[in-house]
Amino acid sequence: MATALSPIDYVLWVLSSLLQAVFFLLLVWARLYRRLPFFSFYMLIVLLSNATVWWTYHVYGYTSSISFSLSWVLQALTLAARGMAVGELCHRVLNPYRGVWALAWRLLSGVTLLLVVYAGLAAYSSRHDYVLTFIQTAEGGLELAAAVLLLLLLAISHYYRIRLPAPERLLIVSLCAWSLVQVLNDVAWQVWADDYFEWARKIRMLSYQAAVLVWIYAVRRPVPAEQPQPAMNAALYNRVAPEVNLRLQALNDRLLEIFKA
Amino acid sequence: MIVTVILVGLLIALLIFYAVRAWRELPAESAVSTLGSDEPPELLLPTHFCYYSQIRQALARADREYLARRATPAVRRRWEAERRKVVRGFLAGLKEDYVRLERLGRTVASLSPELSQELERERLWLGLRFRFWYGVLWLAPLGSRWTLRLLDRTTNLVGSIADRTAAAITAIGEATNRPA
């Protein structure tokens, strides 16, 4: 494993930092920090931790123990901030639909809890192998949890025909795609170990840059003001929904009768 | 490892599916405002069931027996192919009727401040079950007793759904037009 950074690493780092800075400025310019405070906080954490990690790599070399520890501590912080950003996106999209949100938040919380516990158990069981395996397993599990949570959000929005606001839609899709790429990257890293180390780092950076480009595209124009959602009387739902379900049930029963005949 | 890779592959496929749908989807509020506007409510009413008598005619066993005696194999094959196309088109229409009704339920739910967990779970389950059995019936042999009975019963049912749906649409239209 090489101990010094290559020129390509520096180019990728500069490019990544520039893109992050542009995106962060756009967030401030569009005043999205008011609309998405946790997501903006996440971007600030990423910006600062990226600069810190690369400075440490530059000074101590990226195989030094100080670089290793610092980068994974900052990675844990970034993951936690991303978790909050994902939660915020779910809340922002579904909260205006009060009935849907009241049902969905339990489902989303339950699934997240299960996946985080699973990630913890998987990481704990791999602790004897090597500390890096433990960290990679935990990170992969948390990335998977974030991806599944965002997919569930998309599925619920699709099921209830909830229109996702323009910037949030792109943020959700790209965050989810990025998390899935990281899960695959972690799996490949665990399989090929040191041989894959360089590739893992480059893929992480390139996929992140692709995600930031999508985010820049998402906030390139002023975000339209939010419209209040139309509300309906709960009594109407209580009257119509059972009726609709009864009809759907009857239609299903008729279908099944054919097979019982 | 291989399980994780397969899982991620499935998740990526789902992501592509939902991302494409998110761009195309008609928002729930638009669907309901359509109901409350002067536009005709045909968007949600079952419509395909009214062509049933023609479809039933196309499946009549007498026609098949007549052709078996009189027509050449080539003509019979062409007739079978045409008939299959028409009946499957009708089945697709019936599914469309089901989906419209289901969509009405979801739209009402999305705009309600309170939802019943039981009703929502039931509708989700019904939708899954309908699609499964519909798929099985789609593969059932054309002109069989099964297919004919399905068409009889399903069409009668969808017809009765039309009246109920119309009443529900009127109720929603009134609710959305009412000043806050």
DSSP assigned state of B50: G
- Chain A residues with CB under 8 Å of B119 CB are 241-242, 245
Higher pLDDT among residues A225 and A118, named by residue:
A118
Gap from A201 CA to chain B (nearest CA, Å): 19
Contact B122 A245 (CB under 8 A): yes
User: Residue A82 in 3-state DSSP?
Assistant: helix
Q: What is the mean pLDDT of chain A?
A: 82
Q: Pick the residue from chain A with its C-alpha nearest to B106.
A: A160
pLDDT at A175: 92
| Structure-block tokens of residue A98 | 């009060």
- Segment (H or E) for B115: none
Angle between helical axes of B145-177 and B28-36 (0-180°, round to 10):
80
Q: Percent of chain B having pLDDT more than 70?
A: 54
Which residues between 10 and 69 in chain A have a beta carbon less than 8 angstroms from any beta carbon of chain B? none
Q: Which residue of chain B is at minimal alpha-carbon distance from A163?
A: B27
Q: If pLDDT is split at 50, 70 and 90, which confidence band does A40 have?
A: very high
Per-residue pLDDT, A173: 93
Q: Check pLDDT > 80 for residue A244.
A: no
In terms of C-beta density within 10 A (0-12 exposed, 13-18 middle, 19 or more buried), how is residue B54 classed? exposed
User: Is the Cβ–Cβ distance between A162 and B27 less than 8 Å?
Assistant: yes
What count of other Cβ atoms lies within 10 Å of the Cβ of residue B107? Answer: 25
Instruction: Determine, for residues A239 and B171 on separate chains, whether the beta-carbon distance falls below 8 Å.
Output: yes
Label residue B81 by pLDDT band (50, 70, 90). Answer: confident
pLDDT higher than 50, residue A60: yes
Distance CA(B16)–CA(B6), nearest Å, equals 15
Which pLDDT tens digit goes with each residue over B20-41? 887 776 554 455 544 444 444 4
Q: Given this model, what pLDDT does residue B176 score?
A: 53
Q: What pLDDT band is residue B131 in, cutting at 50, 70 and 90?
A: confident
Rounded Cα–Cα distance for residues A169 and B12 (Å): 16
Residue A219 or residue B80, greater confidence: A219
More confident position, A152 or B103: A152
Which residues have CB under 8 Å from A108's CB, separation 6+? A90, A149, A152, A153
Q: Please, are residues A173 and B15 in contact by the beta-carbon 8 Å criterion?
A: yes
> Poorest-confidence range of A211-215, B33-37, B62-66, B96-100?
B33-37
**Between A244 and A78, whose confidence is greater?**
A78
Here the tokens at position A259 are 């097979």
Domain edges within chain A: 7-222
pLDDT tens digits for range A66-95: 888 888 888 888 888 988 999 999 999 898
Distance in angstroms (rounded) separating the CA atoms of residues B33 and B39: 10
In this prediction, residue A98 carries a pLDDT of: 85
pLDDT computed for residue A87 by the predictor: 92
The pLDDT assigned to A258 comes to 46
The beta-carbon neighbor of A169 closest among B22, B133, B160 is B22
CB contact under 8 A, B32 and A232: yes
The pLDDT of residue B40: 45
Q: Which residue has the higher pLDDT, B135 or B165?
A: B135
Which range among A127-136, A241-250, B73-82 shows the weakest confidence by mean pLDDT? A127-136
The predicted model gives A211-236 an average pLDDT of 76
Q: Is the pLDDT of residue B49 over 90?
A: no
What's residue B42's pLDDT? 46
Q: What percent of chain A has pLDDT over 90?
A: 21
Helices (H), B112-139: 117-139
- In angstroms and rounded to an integer, the radius of gyration of the C-alpha atoms of chain A is 22
CB atoms within 10 A of CB B180: 5
- Name every chain A residue with its beta carbon within 8 A of the beta carbon of B129: 252
Among A145-149, A206-210, A246-250, B38-42, which is the least confidently predicted range? B38-42
Q: Say which range, A252-261, B97-106, B129-138, has the weakest mean pLDDT.
A: A252-261
Q: How many CA atoms lie within 13 A of A155 on its CB side?
A: 15
Q: Is the dihedral of CA A35, A37, A42, A45 positive or negative?
A: positive
Rounded mean pLDDT, A161-169: 84
Q: Is the dihedral of CA B92, B98, B101, B106 positive or negative?
A: negative
Which pLDDT score, from 0 to 100, does residue B41 have?
A: 46
Q: Is B35 exposed, middle or buried (0-12, 13-18, 19+ CB in 10 A)?
A: buried
